A and B are shown apart, each in its own frame.
Chain A
Amino acid sequence: MRSLLPFLFLGAMPGMLMAQPDADEILRRIDIQMVTESAEATATMVITNRRGRETRITSRSWSKGETTSLVEYLSPAREKGVKMLRLEDVLWMYTPSADRVIQISGHMLRQSVSGSDLSYEDMVDNGKLLDIYDAAVVGEEIFMDRHCYVLRLRAKEGSDNVTYAQRKIWVDKTRYLPLKEERYAKNGTTLLKNFEIRSVQKIGNRWYPKEMYFKDVLAKGQGTLYIVEDIKFGVDIPDYMFTKAALRE
């Protein structure tokens, strides 16, 4: 029995070390779960407007790296064929009925997508938290029956274009998914958006959100549910898809 003790102790050491990762390590593990090298997904946004009526918008999206992505609306009929292309920091929108490709920039990036609680910036955001924020663990709480680290994130010096200058996030201790977020303006006190992961799915070795809820605190709607219907990671996507010319195809 005694001879087993050193082994038991050694066996427990990784667990003890993993139990207290620092803030940067937590962000790194979140990025591993949430940031994709390439992905193809089908998702549905369920938007409840301020008249209490529900709209469902289904889209297909492709992403490559952190700054290249394409979203195409599949339904409803009025929205079908609308595409949004992000290339680096530039966002283009194509509307088939007008046959126009328009650059969305400046304040328009902060506007709501299709009346939802997501902005265009939210829609195409695939950046690594570790690259953008300095983080500190400020506590531990139980959220939705899951043990969570609570982190306070502040945008790094020089990150002027970051959408949310500060965030408070509740991170699942075992799955490393940010189950809840409060996203703040630069002053750190003005809450702009609430975010929750309401259900998760395991795809390969990766835990990924299945249902996410967004609520723009400044908007009068009743929030937006974002459901990931289907997602594939590591898919091979031809580069031509991420060109302005391909938007009209």
Chain B
Amino acid sequence: MFRFLMKGMLRDRHRSLLPSIVVAMGVMLTVFMFSYMKGMFDDFFNNGAMYESGHVKITSRAYYEEKDVLPNDLAMENGAELMDMLRSEYPGLQWSERVKFGGLLDAFDENRETRAQVGAAGIGIDFFGPDTAERNRWNLAAGLQQGTLPQKSGDILMGKTLASQMDLNVGDEVTLISSTVNGSMVLQNFNLAGIIYFGTPPMDKGMFLADINDAKFMLDMGDWSSEILGYLQTSYYDDVKARDLAASFNAAHSDTSDRFSPEMIVMLDDAGLAEYFGYAEKAGSIVSFMMIFAMGVVLWNTGLMGAIRRYGEMGLRLAVGESKGHVYRSLIMESLGIAIVGTVVGTSIGLGFSYWLQEVGFDIGSMMGDSTMLMPTIIRAHITPAAFYIGFFPGVFATLLGSALSGLRIFKRDTASLFKELET
């Protein structure tokens, strides 16, 4: 029986090749679109985690209450001790200290007189720590357009557009006018070591990176820590893990009666992304469902068409003595075979395209123009375990359902006028 079906399928390409191609294409599109959607949303959140919030963030309660105005004067004390504790008690995460500040960048001439001033945002990150992951996390080497990464204290990296706007070149000295945690105005000179392309227009237009120790010295912070960011080992944000971690940390180390006590906040709560995350999850599911449904309809139709096209063959097989149940089962078996082959091929191709988009990405930077929205300019897919089976829903079930429904006509088939039908 199996050999009979296989021979039939292989010899009649209308029964095998075409339906398989249709199934494969439908499945490929489903898998690719699913991975693309997943990548788009995950990239958005990862971008936020990278630059802004980490997967979890530790600040003082007082700092967190006013975080929008960067209240470094409300930072946590004993930052070094806190970092040591985090590294020993929570070794499963990577911990990075950050300090954010703002001010006026002042470029000056040979007489040290101001020639250009621009408001800018600075972030102090750990450039020189022995086990720092910040250089890789910010992908600095890849983004470097001119100069070098910071080599010594006082070196900074500046966004490409900002440097161009101030007419600064690598090696130039620039003064930051800011204020210390005590409120004193401070003028600090920095050396422009490198010009970097962050890939997000607002950062390229108005941001620079300094070493965290330089930033803390400038702000007169001593051993205070404004923000400590934690990154889970998973490459993407895991809300359940993050919330478990925050609950355990806060229970052990946070004192609700002390405004300056450390408190751990998960990324979604910190960046106000919880609602957006929920929306993204729902939107992703809806789009995936619509894609699966649309493909299901197409593939169901393929199953229907295949079965209807073989109306005459069914009649002949009944006439030579095959039972209706046997013919129906063989139709289903054939359909299953085609669906599995098509789905496997479609999933493989879809995963292939998705993998390319995940690893290489698609640069839409030139299309974003003067956008000030903080979003990545490179679109990437994200292959999740679900991408390996998501195509089976439309690929196998819809095809099978189409064949099963159309095959029901076998049971109503009348062979009395068979030869007359065959003649026509």
Contact = CB atoms under 8 A, between A and B. Distances in A.
Interface of A: 47, 49-51, 55, 78-79, 93, 95, 97-104, 111-116
A45 to B, nearest CB: 11
Contacts of A51: 73-74, 260
Given A55-B182, A95-B187, A114-B183, A100 B108 contact: yes
Given A50-B73, A51-B73, A78-B220, A99 B112 contact: yes
Contacts of B106: 100, 102
B188 A111 contact: no
B73 A95 contact: no
B189 interface: yes
A104 B74 CA distance: 26
B115 to A, nearest CB: 12
Contact of B112 (A47, A50, A100, A113): A100
Given A55-B182, A102-B177, A97 B114 contact: no
A116 B182 CA distance: 9
26 contacts: A47-B182, A47-B183, A51-B74, A78-B184, A79-B184, A93-B187, A95-B186, A95-B187, A97-B188, A98-B187, A99-B112, A100-B106, A100-B175, A100-B189, A101-B112, A101-B113, A102-B175, A104-B185, A111-B179, A114-B182, A114-B184, A114-B185, A115-B179, A115-B183, A115-B184, A116-B183
Given A50-B73, A100-B189, A101-B113, 7 more contacts: A49-B182, A51-B73, A100-B187, A102-B177, A102-B187, A111-B179, A113-B185
Given A49-B73, A51-B73, A103-B114, A98 B188 contact: yes
Contacts of B175: 98, 100, 102
A115 B177 CA distance: 15
Contacts of B74: 50-51
Contacts of B183: 47, 49, 112, 114-116
A33 B400 CA distance: 100
A41 B15 CA distance: 102
Interface of B: 73-74, 106, 108, 112-114, 175, 177, 179-180, 182-189, 220, 260
Contacts of A111: 179, 185
Contacts of A93: 185, 187
Contacts of A97: 187-188
Contacts of A98: 175, 187-189
B367 to A, nearest CB: 37
Contacts of B112: 99-101
Contacts of A47: 182-183
A95 B189 CA distance: 11
B262 to A, nearest CB: 16
Contacts, number: 58
A49 B183 CA distance: 9
Main secondary structure of the interface of A (DSSP, over half): loop
B188 A115 contact: no
Contacts of B108: 100
Contacts of B187: 93, 95, 97-98, 100, 102
A102 B183 CA distance: 17
B251 to A, nearest CB: 26
A116 B180 CA distance: 12
Contacts of B113: 101
The 9 closest A-B pairs by CB, nearest first: A115-B183, A98-B187, A95-B187, A114-B184, A115-B182, A98-B189, A112-B183, A100-B187, A100-B175
Contacts of A102: 106, 114, 175, 177, 187
A125 B74 CA distance: 31
Nearest to B189: A98
Contacts of A55: 182
Contacts of B179: 111-112, 115
A78 B179 CA distance: 13
A93 B112 CA distance: 13
Contacts of B189: 98-100
A7 to B, nearest CB: 61
Contacts of A114: 182-185
Contacts of A49: 73, 182-183
Contacts of B185: 93, 104, 111, 113-114
B94 to A, nearest CB: 30
A55 B113 CA distance: 32
User: Quick one: which of A51, A97, A98, A116 has the most chain B CB within 10 A?
Assistant: A98
Nearest to A248: B112
A222 B5 CA distance: 89
A103 B106 CA distance: 11
A34 B187 CA distance: 33
B71 to A, nearest CB: 9
B223 to A, nearest CB: 15
Nearest to B260: A51
Contacts of B182: 47, 49, 55, 114-115
Nearest to B77: A51
A55 B186 CA distance: 16
A175 to B, nearest CB: 33
A166 B275 CA distance: 47
A239 B187 CA distance: 27
Contacts of A78: 184, 220
Nearest to A244: B113
B62 to A, nearest CB: 9
B141 to A, nearest CB: 30
A160 B185 CA distance: 26
A51 B182 CA distance: 10
Contacts of A113: 184-185
Contacts of A103: 114
User: Quick one: which of A47, A50, A55, A113 has the most chain B CB within 10 A?
Assistant: A50
B119 to A, nearest CB: 11
A118 B260 CA distance: 26
Nearest to B220: A78
A36 B220 CA distance: 36
A87 B260 CA distance: 43
Contacts of A79: 184
